[in-house]
Amino acid sequence: GVKQIFVSLNGFDGHPLISQTMEFSANMFGFKIGGSFNYIFSDYKLNEQVADGTFTAELFSMNKDAIVRDSAFWEDVRPIPLTAEEKIDYIRKDSLKQIWESKPYLDSLDRANNKFKWSDVLFGYDYDKTFGKRHYSYKSPLSTYQFNAVEGHTLSVAFEARIYDNTENKHLKINPLIRYGFADKKIKASVNLRYRFDRKNYGNAFLGGGREYSQLDNRNPVMSNINSLYSLFSKSNLLHLYEKRYVSAKVTREVSNGIYLIPFVNYENRRPLNNNSDYSWSEDDYTYRPNDVIGKDEFESLYFLENHDAVTLGTKFVWYPGQKYMSFPAFKSRMQSGAPRFQIGYTLGLNDVSYNKLEIQILDKKVNTNLFGYSSYLIEGGMFFSDESVAFPDLFHFRGNETFINYSSSNLGNFKLMPQYVYSTTENFGTVFFEHHFDGYILDRIPLFRNMGANIIVGGNALVYKDQYYYEYSVGLEGISIGPFTLFRMDYAWAKDKYGISDHGFILGLSQIFE
């Protein structure tokens, strides 16, 4: 319960809170706990003139030495003296804290937890140096199994090292990866580094390099695990890959409240790839679609990619209008205002490619419509200022889907039925993605559905450029769950292009627990 004491003060129209006590208790599995918190409020400033600029986006600020004080300070400011029991408890906790943070104690825990077993080779291994703030891990290769027609069966060996400074505000993260394809018989090795140099202002530096097989769209629209299932069970290869030998660098930083700058530079030596495996559990006697053929059915076409070098550099500008924040000594807690997020990206292509392009994005995940639920939308647009030499990976790509499965977290920004890469272009384009979540406004009125937790969702997506257009409409149920776990959503979608209805069908949207 909560007990509060208010007082009346002369010359002030109101009753300020002076004291508050919060009491709690719980009884679970035969264990009973209880306690209370006492708050004393003082040093009120009443009827004071507030200067312009006093209230800013910063809602709260804590100085570096705010909680690093000696006992004399706390004796002076504490309004309620500690009881004898509390004093003993603080002494005990302080002594235990010193033991639990000591090197001998932490090293003894690490020795017990770091014991290596031969089964760790197959199932993964973690090694910690807690006192030195070091962590090393090795991922189980069994969890990395994938299949695609270019590489065949693949396994990877993934390592990770995390090194923190004494305050854990800065850290270095290193991720080496070795991947082997049993059909192409090639080793692909890469390493990626992330250095967080300014936790408070989201300052991160990224450096990577090596040899990889990459999707034509570097946002990786096709999930590798879904492609593996489609390949093995129905002999449908959804991935379109090329080889890249690359070096990349990127920096992220909040340059002003709510404004982020992300400059980047990449070098890639790009090479085409062919299928090397025809393996499948399916009994179908046809072969996989070639790696250089995109689309499906009547939309199939051939794309061309030759050996070339590409240097791409540019920057992204991201703005969260009205962002509020709380400042702590080592970090900053951000709270979005509910306004849309704006993003602008510019890319310049050099070496064997020659182009420069601009992309914009406006995203609002929650537009409150009160009793009617909420809406979400994403607006995107882009243009090439010059396109003398544009390789296929550098085109504007639109995230499509050639399966009946996607992930619920990626619905906004993904077309549900569009064939991959069919609409990729250098033309000026615009896309709109929209969803409205009724949040029980409809189903809560139907007794049979009221307690299911599911809600109706409707949506529409559109792509327009030059003489092309593509629309989608959908209706579905979201929040389908078992107990506390939300499992999936189900949509039925219709696709329409300039020739009429081009496709329709059910789409199963898996929740994040499957990602």
Question: Any residues with CB less than 8 A from the CB of 482 and at least 6 apart, and which?
Answer: none
Directed axis angle between helix 84-100 and helix 103-113, to 10°? Answer: 60
pLDDT score for 357: 98
With H, G, I as helix, E, B as strand and everything else as coil, classify residue 514: helix
With H, G, I as helix, E, B as strand and everything else as coil, classify residue 85: helix
Question: Any residues with CB less than 8 A from the CB of 124 and at least 6 apart, and which?
Answer: 137, 138, 139, 140, 143
Question: Any residues with CB less than 8 A from the CB of 66 and at least 6 apart, and which?
Answer: 329
Whether 409 has a pLDDT exceeding 80, the answer reads no
pLDDT score for 354: 97
pLDDT band of residue 128 (cuts 50, 70, 90) is very high
pLDDT tens digits along 11-31: 777 788 889 999 988 887 788
pLDDT tens digits along 439-453: 888 887 887 777 777
Strand partners, 30: none
pLDDT tens digits along 139-198: 999 999 999 999 999 999 999 999 998 777 899 999 999 999 999 999 999 999 999 999
Q: What is the C-alpha separation between 108 and 125, in angstroms, rounded?
A: 18
pLDDT score for 77: 77
